Structure 1
Amino acid sequence: MKASTEVVCYKYKPLKDGTLPLMLRVTKDRKRKYVSLGLSLHEKFWDFEKGKPKRNCPNKERIERLIAAKTAEYNDLIVEMTAQQREYTADTLVSHFRSQIQCGSVVELYDKLIADMKREKQLGNAEVYKYSRASLLKFTGQRLQIPFRNIDTKWLRRYEDWLRQRGSSDTTISQLFRTLRSVFNKAVELQLVKRDYYPFDAYKVSKFDTRTKKRAVGKEDIRQIIALDLTEFRPLARLARDIFVFSYFGAGINFADIALLKYGNIQNGRVQYIRKKTGKPINFRLTDEMHAIISKYRRGSETDEDYIFPILDRRIHKTEQQIYDRVRKVLKHVNKALHEWSRLLGLKIELTPYVARHTFATVLKRSGVNIAIISESLGHSDLSTTQIYLDSFENSQIDAAMQNLL
């Protein structure tokens, strides 16, 4: 009997955050084998009858691409084995792909994961893993074949000491160790190393102090920034100020999402978009200040597919890599311009788009807005959690809260 493949949203083992993992189910001779796709989503976003994400599912296209690629990978192997009249089972099909990675090689698994992320357009995550990989190679003297079983608590402590000698902060070290831990977890899942060798039960990554420094300015500072006379300044300095103000009034929208905003994201006086980092739907009311900023950049012939801010051009920046590179490049220039504004205004805190995001939450918190809406504002150790808290409330509640911004 020929094997079959099907992607299922696995109800029986929900994750801690309440989402359900997506699994590829391989069936042969009534025996089943499940392969994780490395993705999860809420039950409400999955069509269980049709076996695919619903229309309103965040990152729907990316999920569908991954499903198609993984299904095609297994189906091609099934066709090949059937044509060659080779005996196989659901287990051997899954084992075939797991064996494609050389057992025990840390760097090789990094390379595979980075390639997977690039293929799935997760370019930010790919950069994080590339940075971690480069750090490990420097520590080991460019040694490519690092066996997973060699990474024990003593090895991790030596790596930590080496990073501290190079002046790395707790935040940087935490990121590097969390990335390495994630790769080790993947190695255990792929049976590249036994769970007995897992070192992160004894070596706690949580020990690093990664609490976010307070980076909020006050209402009076916001008023100064809004009142700036931009006539004499170059376009980039004006853009930097406008992005800061737009983020502050726009529920702390971050720079990447501002860059990706299109005119089609504005509906009935509201901004509606899917946050790139978390895949969460965001919806907030446009203020007069935001309307004025958008009007500055209108050219008169825009379509719903045109970007609002002069950061991206859909005729030029077409691929995910082009968009990613362009956003990073402009962000550097915007940060530099905002630092100049900080000195001009005599602020103690250097302005960045993140400061606008943090200030949005901090001002609301100090104004007595329900702590459940803001959580710990953007001073939260996990900023995405703060955004999730905001997402869970009705638009009217957020709209009322935002009346306190000035």
Structure 2
Amino acid sequence: MEKIAKKAKISLYLDTRRELSDDTYPVKIQVFYGRQKLFNTGTYVSAEDFDNSYNTAKPKGDRLKELKIELSAIEAKANEVVDNLKVFTFEKFEKMLFATKQSLTNIIDHYNEYIKELDKNEQTGTSSSYSCSINSIKEYIDSGRKYPVEVITFDMITPEFLNRYENWMIAQDNSRTTVGIYLRATRKIFNQAIEDGLIDRELYPFKKYKIPTGKNTKKAIESPDLKKLFDADTKGNEFQEKAKAFWFFSYQCNGMNIRDISELKFKDLHGTYFSFLRHKTIRTTKEDPKPIIVPITEFVKGVFEKYGNKKGKPNDYVFPVFTLGMDAKERHRVNQNFVRFINQHMKKLANANGMVIKGTMEARHSFTTQVTRKQGMEFAQEALGHTTLSTTQNYWAGFQSETKKEMADMLLNFDALEPKTTIRKKAAVKKPSTSTKRKASRRVEVV
């Protein structure tokens, strides 16, 4: 027999805990679903009128009859919201109860609500991406209009609309990768609205429209150029010297993201190593995230000593990028500036030495290339902080085809596959006193 899902119970409640100056009290919607929660209605009545209208089957007098109709309508709307929710939560109930019909179908409002949620969770980078997404869609719709659009209903976002928007974005010199990032945000908003029962599944446009994906080519710097860059002279240019220090800090510390470097605290330092959780995935990993362990080499120690704070409490930052008390948006802004600083001066340093690099992500990509070649995919998975091997495989799949070809060619270069050991043969020395023993054989020593 199919089990019937428990339904939230609705009733009106007169909150008599605090009387107003006119002897009235607030009427609230009482919702019971495992626990009780009250929601304001904006209506205020006296205790006597509440009993003689809402709590009475047949109120006497037109005023009380009208009040009962008003209160019954509030209760009916609350019950309608409960009936329309496929999965009940107090948060969804509140959202639908107080939303206007226009806001329920206006994708701009849905974007704004989700952006608020991301900001509340301090997911500032994702929040910024969603803001860029809806602003871009609004800009496209507003092009050629006299007044900016304030309402974009879900049924306006059709496969045909998305194709036109994609073409417009490309014509504005945006990459397919950017289009993909923006429209994956739109798809998330659609999926959430459908899950909440706010729009019909038939409105979903992404069955027919395929979101474009970029090539996602990852550029790694090979060993000779890494050495050349590391040995590049930065004397007299403190900006390039600092940028190079943090770029190679990222490279040697498991391709550590600059945000994770900025977030590093004294409590993360453990003598001969430090550990950290990736800021990017700490909120999206369902299981307890596994810390990434990084040995403190002489180079890493030198960066700590030159650019880090000399001492601090456990929750103080190691590097003077963030300060305690900064909110999420400020940390995001400051970190973005720090990344731009490194990228700007590393590009200049590379150009001065006949090289071209894009920025900090090439430090991570270069680490990935080196460690995957030398230690294998499983080692790379742990070092990069990927929760599954498939993530590492997908990450590796984005590297340039020539890198993969070099690996394939190396498989037939059997000299390169030999262990790098030196074989030295020593002839045994004959001793007169051991003439009766067997002749000494030549022995092999591996050094």
Greater radius of gyration (CA): 2
- For the 8 Å contact 2:247–2:342, the answer to whether it is kept is no
Q: Which residue of 1 aligns with 2:270?
A: 267
Task: Tell which has more relative contact order, 1 or 2 (C-alpha 8 A, sep 6+).
Answer: 1
Q: 1:340 offset after TM fit, Å?
A: 0.8
1:312-347 C-alpha deviation (Å, 9 max, x unpaired): 233xx5222221111112221221111111112211
| Runs of 4+ residues over 3 Å off in structure 1 | 25-30, 73-76, 78-81, 83-90, 92-96, 228-231, 298-301, 372-375, 387-390
Among 338, 343, 347, which residue is 1:339 paired with?
347
Q: Which residue of 2 aligns with 1:211?
A: 215
Percent pairwise identity: 24
1:341-383 C-alpha deviation (Å, 9 max, x unpaired): 1112211x3141111000000112233x2234437x99x9x99
State the number of aligned residues.
315
Alignment pair present for 1:193 and 2:184 = no
Distance in 1 between the 2:116 and 2:178 partners? 23
SS state at 2:293 partner: strand
Q: 1:295 offset after TM fit, Å?
A: 1.6
The alignment's C-alpha RMSD in Å is 3.6
Extract unaligned runs of 5+ from structure 1.
Answer: 1-24, 31-70, 391-403
Distance in 2 between the 1:95 and 1:299 partners? 49
Q: Which amino acid aligns with 2:107?
A: V
SS state at 2:294 partner: strand
Q: Which residue of 1 aligns with 2:117?
A: 116
Summarize the alignment of residues 3-402 of structure 1 with structure 2, pairs less than 5 Å apart.
28=8, 75-77=37-39, 91=82, 94-101=92-99, 102-141=103-142, 142-205=148-211, 208-234=212-238, 236-279=239-282, 280=289, 281-314=291-324, 318-347=326-355, 349-367=356-374, 369-374=375-380, 385-386=391-392
- For the 8 Å contact 1:244–1:356, the answer to whether it is kept is yes
SS state at 1:75 partner: strand
Extract unaligned runs of 5+ from structure 2.
Answer: 11-32, 55-70, 84-89, 143-147, 283-288, 397-419, 421-447
Change in 2 beyond 3 A, CA 1:171/1:267: same
SS state at 2:292 partner: strand
TM-score under structure 2 length normalisation: 0.63
- For the 8 Å contact 1:374–1:389, the answer to whether it is kept is no
Change in 2 beyond 3 A, CA 1:77/1:104: same
SS state at 2:228 partner: helix
SS state at 1:242 partner: helix
1:28-47 C-alpha deviation (Å, 9 max, x unpaired): 569xxxxxxxxxxxxxxxxx
- For the 8 Å contact 1:153–1:202, the answer to whether it is kept is yes
Distance in 1 between the 2:390 and 2:348 partners? 29
- For the 8 Å contact 2:194–2:201, the answer to whether it is kept is yes
- For the 8 Å contact 2:378–2:389, the answer to whether it is kept is no
